[in-house]
Amino acid sequence: MRRPPDFADLAAPGLDAFEALAEAALLSIPEPWARAARQVAVRVEDFATPEILSDMEMEDPFELTGLYDGVPLTEKSVMDQPMGPDTIWLYRRPILDEWADRGNVTLGELVAHVLVHELAHHFGWSDDDIARIDPWWE
């Protein structure tokens, strides 16, 4: 009889592990978007700030797994004064919660899925564009 795995000594991946998963996902973005995708800052936090949740009209911090903060490329102008780098925020605890609820994907796959969804806001991608990069969208 096969023994179940011993999870007693395991801990949830921390912010550093999530950053590594996000970096791997970012490096897997195909051309012609790869270079531009790497120009977007990716940050990982446990949760969105109360201010962001308020702006998004959300009460439950577990509802927000990621957020694009910037001006989409389809709306940028050479006349714009940059206010800072476009940033994708990934929220570790809500992603972990969704991962545990799903139970059918790896954590790396879910992080990549959230990252691609947020990149879609940056690039102004259609659903078809997203589906070419992220098979979950199909």
Given 3.20.20.70, 3.30.2010.20, 3.40.50.2000, 3.40.190.10, which CATH number is that of 15-70+84-137?
3.30.2010.20
More confident residue, 80 or 110: 110
- Bridge pairing between strands 66-69 and 41-45: unpaired
Q: What is the pTM of this model?
A: 0.86
pLDDT by residue (tens digit) across 84-122?
A: 789 999 999 999 999 999 989 999 999 999 999 999 989
Strand partners, 66: 90
Mean pLDDT of the chain, nearest integer: 88
CA–CA separation, 86 and 68 (whole Å): 8
Tokens 């179940």 found at? 4
Beta-carbon count within 10 A of 7 CB:
7
Contact 38, 32 (CB under 8 A): no
pLDDT reading at 1 higher than 90: no
Distances (CA, A) of 97 to 23, 71, 117: 21, 29, 18
Q: Where are the domains of the chain?
A: 15-70+84-137
